[in-house]
Amino acid sequence: MNLCPKAMNCIFLPSSLSLLPTLHQSKPCLRIQPRYSCCFNDYSSGHKFSSLSLRSPFISFHSLRNRQSSIGATIPSNEGAISMISMDDFKEKDWSFLESDETNSDGELNQKTDRIISAGGIGETSKVLVSIGSKGFVDRIVDSSPCQMLLVVHDSIFVLANIKAKYDMVKCWQGELLYVPEKWAPFDVVYLYFLPALPFKLGQIFGALAKQCLPGARLVISYPEGREVVEQQQRQFPDVVISDLPDEMSLQNVAADHSFEIVEFVDEPDFYLAVLKFVGKNKA
């Protein structure tokens, strides 16, 4: 697996990162030479199990799980800590289907994507969050909608690496939506581009977003390929696509419980769009 060196250097670490085989195994590893320390948090067990250094504040590795046995560190006298992380331990899911859908389609998909982006009403002072977005979706936002801040949250380190390699100004955070640090909030616009990949109930998602959105913020739940394609993907990629898109009644009930109201809803076989407005007071 090869990744752009620029992507690696500008996202993951301050100085050096390479894919290296170890002396005792053929599995590729990340070699990280840190300068500032931070911690990996294992949220499945509640333990902190290693410390690494990141110069960039734009990415977090908080959702790494079950990796204690493969992360080690040595401290040479003249270099500081060097950690070796087996690439197999990242357990990356296959997100290529999102990108291939966009690559293989025509201008109609771009029109749908532009409709989704415009529904958020992004302005030059907006702080925008995109959860489980494809690189193509991020491209369209950057090209069409200048904003104060764009934060992309994704489960995949490698998707984020590719985004960061192209757009240094885009902030990237690897982890789950419910645990996005509050330092980037409050948000004016939130795009849940691929909701069926989030491992949480709808009420949990709305509850978390209600704490990080400004009054009047727009929440856009969408998928330009529509419900039928999601159902096909759920059969093909059951480890990634773990739920369906919500129907209007289910969405309305959950939204009302968390001070959101639906302002637009489209549920067609080949296009899904739900636009909601946050009407409650922002809570710390």
Range of the domain at 66: 5-90
Same-domain status, 179 and 114: yes
Contacts of 63 (CB under 8 A, 6+ apart): 43, 155, 174, 175, 176, 179
Q: What is the pLDDT of residues 167-215, one digit of tens each?
A: 999 999 999 999 999 999 999 999 999 999 999 999 999 999 999 999 9
Q: Which of 90, 109, 133 is the last residue of a domain?
A: 90
For the chain, what is the mean pLDDT? 74
State which of 21-25, 118-122, 225-229 shows the largest mean pLDDT.
Answer: 118-122
Does the structure show a pLDDT above 80 at 3?
no
Q: What is the pLDDT of residue 280?
A: 80
Q: What is the pLDDT of residue 206?
A: 97
> How many structural domains does the chain have?
2
10-24, 220-234, 244-258, range with the lowest pLDDT:
10-24
The Cα–Cα gap between 50 and 15 comes to 19
Does the structure show a pLDDT above 80 at 278?
yes
Same-domain status, 133 and 240: yes
Q: What is the pLDDT of residues 40-49, one digit of tens each?
A: 333 333 333 3
Does the structure show a pLDDT above 60 at 224?
yes
Same-domain status, 120 and 227: yes
Q: Does the reported pTM lie above 0.75?
A: no
Phi-psi region of 62 (alpha: psi -120 to 50; beta: other; left: phi over 0): alpha
Q: Which two three-digit tokens encode residue 56?
A: 């960039």
Residue with the bigger pLDDT between 24 and 260: it is 260
Q: Which of 73, 90, 107 is the last residue of a domain?
A: 90
Same-domain status, 133 and 253: yes
The closest alpha carbon to 141, from 169, 179, 161, belongs to: 169
The Cα–Cα gap between 153 and 160 comes to 8
Same-domain status, 270 and 193: yes
Q: Is residue 50 in some structural domain? A: yes
What is the three-class DSSP state of 226?
A: helix
Q: Which of 34, 68, 90 is the last residue of a domain?
A: 90
The closest alpha carbon to 63, from 174, 178, 223, belongs to: 174
Q: Is residue 283 in some structural domain? A: no
The Cα–Cα gap between 96 and 174 comes to 17
Residue corresponding to tokens 């390479």: 18
Q: Is residue 284 in some structural domain? A: no
Q: At 171, which CATH number?
A: 3.40.50.150
178: DSSP letter: G
Q: Is residue 39 in some structural domain? A: yes
For 55, counting Cβ atoms within 10 Å of its Cβ (0-12 exposed, 13-18 middle, 19+ buried), the class is middle
Same-domain status, 82 and 129: no
Q: What is the pLDDT of residue 94?
A: 62
